[in-house]
Amino acid sequence: MSEIIEPLRGMNDMLPDEARWWNRLETVARHVFSQYGYREMRVPLLERTQLFKRAIGEYTDIVEKEMFTFEDRDGQSVTLRPEATASLMRAAISNGMVHNQRHRVFTIGPMFRGERPQKGRYRQFYQIDAEAFGYDGPDVDAELILVSARIWKLLGISRVRLEINSLGTPESRAEYREALRAYFTAHEAALDADSRRRLVGNPLRILDSKNPDLAALIAAAPLLTDYLDPASREHFDALKARLDAAGIGYTVNPRLVRGLDYYSRTVFEWVTDALGSQNAVCSGGRYDGLVTQLGGEHTPAIGWALGMERVVLLMQELGLEACADLPHAYFVLAGPAAASRGLQLAEEVRDALPALRIETDLTGGGIKAQFKRADKSGAQLAVVIGEDEVARGSAQIKPLRGGGEQQACPFADLAGRLASLIGSAAVDGDGAARQDRGR
């Protein structure tokens, strides 16, 4: 036998039991996006390295040490996307979506960062991204936060809280940057190697450091809030008023700077106390300068990215629901005539009850072994069809959970009988929309 090939570090397989949780999150998110008029976009996983260098910034963790970058066959440098915003804005510019237009979009998919893998931090991980471009805010800033809040609400997620801050304009930030540079220069001996490099390149990035030895020094640094320009302050106050009016609780965290260079004004992060140090579950902000930085016409924009692994961990931690995927009914088909008639009947029931999940036993094995599998499948009912049943034109329905009598059911009545036995929830489907109506 050959040697088994293991997956790469930080890259996970998602098995069916796990996928149920992801489907639930994705179903709810898609539903909420449709409620607010956000439309889906899909962009490539691989882009020119230059895109991320220019968009995310040279002095960020991502560009300095986390990108999966390699040369393609033509010798050009390409990078697996570490985040979606740069690609989405590149696509918006490439496809003429930014000039005098407004769009609200979302995308869902994998991102790649060469980080040290740990719980809630992987090398391939998934994000749900929402972006609105062509809007100055602050109304759209508030709406985007409401979209994320509604996703929590529909999933039933508690133990998340919202932190917000304003980074001001690039001009007001320049003044602050010099104040920070002076402060950290005075304490240069206490800085680590990363921070010393950032002191020259972009001292704001020092605030984003995860080195605990620097925490006290960072806590005593000058505050960006004291350097905000009047228009940014007004924008921030208006956002807070919108959130207050919508009943969304938040705290202003003047130290929140976010890991990417392209943000301006509004930044926010949903954090949880349930996942240890990987506490950010959804982060976002306004990036009014990005589109021009990428060669497009000036287009104000804002977006957020939700880390799906972390939200799924949180759903599991909180004991929330995953998508139901166990079969409602399991068809036990004993004998060649039953195998053929059974498949046909299962198709008829699927036509009549599209939301019902039916698993058919395709092994052609003995009835006892099939019953074992029926039980193990988690189905509520077994529909048994043997040669006798085919001859009589009538199946046996046997409850597998919660008692109840076995009963005969003519083939012609099968769909109706299953609908009444299994109940309306299954027959209506169990998507996010029904849940939403129920609240």
Q: Where do contacts with ligand ATP occur on this chain (CB under 6 A)?
A: 83, 113, 115, 120-122, 125, 127, 259, 278, 280-283, 305, 307, 309-310
Q: How far is the CB of 82 from ligand ATP (least distance, A)?
A: 8
Measured from the CB atom, the residue of 310 and 417 that comes closer to ligand ATP is 310
Residues 6+ apart with CB under 8 A from 359: 327, 329, 330, 331, 377, 379
Q: How far is the CB of 305 from ligand ATP (least distance, A)?
A: 4
Choose between 92 and 267: whose C-beta lies nearer to ligand ATP.
Answer: 267
Q: What is residue 4's DSSP assignment?
A: P
User: Considering the complex, what minimum distance in angstroms separates the CB of residue 408 from ligand ATP?
Assistant: 53
3-class DSSP assignment, residue 214: helix
* CB nearer to ligand ATP: pick between 257 and 334: 257
Which is nearer to ligand ATP, 121 or 255 (by Cβ)? 121
Q: For residues 180 and 221, is the Cβ–Cβ distance under 8 A? A: yes
Treating both helix axes as pointing N-terminal to C-terminal, what angle do 139-155 and 16-36 enclose, rounded to 10 degrees? 140
Query: Minimum distance between the CB of residue 190 and ligand ATP, rounded to whole angstroms?
Result: 22
Closest contact distance (angstroms) between CB of 284 and ligand ATP is 7
Shortest spacing between CB 120 and ligand ATP, in angstroms: 6
Least gap, CB of 47 to ligand ATP (angstroms): 16
Measured from the CB atom, the residue of 259 and 378 that comes closer to ligand ATP is 259
Nearest to residue 288, comparing CAs of 121, 171, 159? Answer: 171
Going across the sheet that includes 68-71, the strands are 46-48, 77-80, 68-71
Ranges of H-type helices in 156-259: 170-186, 193-201, 215-219, 230-246
DSSP annotation of 121: B
Token output for 61: 């963790």
Q: Which residue is nearest to ligand ATP (CB)?
A: 307
> Residues 59, 61, 63, 69: what is their CA dihedral angle, to the nearest 10 degrees?
160
Q: Which is nearer to ligand ATP, 259 or 365 (CB)?
A: 259
Closest CA to 43 of 34, 32, 55, 35: 55
Please report the beta strands in 31-80, taking only residues with DSSP state E, as ranges in sequence order: 39-40, 46-48, 68-71, 77-80
Q: How far apart are CA 91 and CA 282, in angstroms?
A: 23
Which is nearer to ligand ATP, 149 or 426 (by Cβ)? 149
DSSP 63: I
Choose between 47 and 83: whose C-beta lies nearer to ligand ATP.
83
- As measured in angstroms, the least distance from the Cβ of 127 to ligand ATP is 5
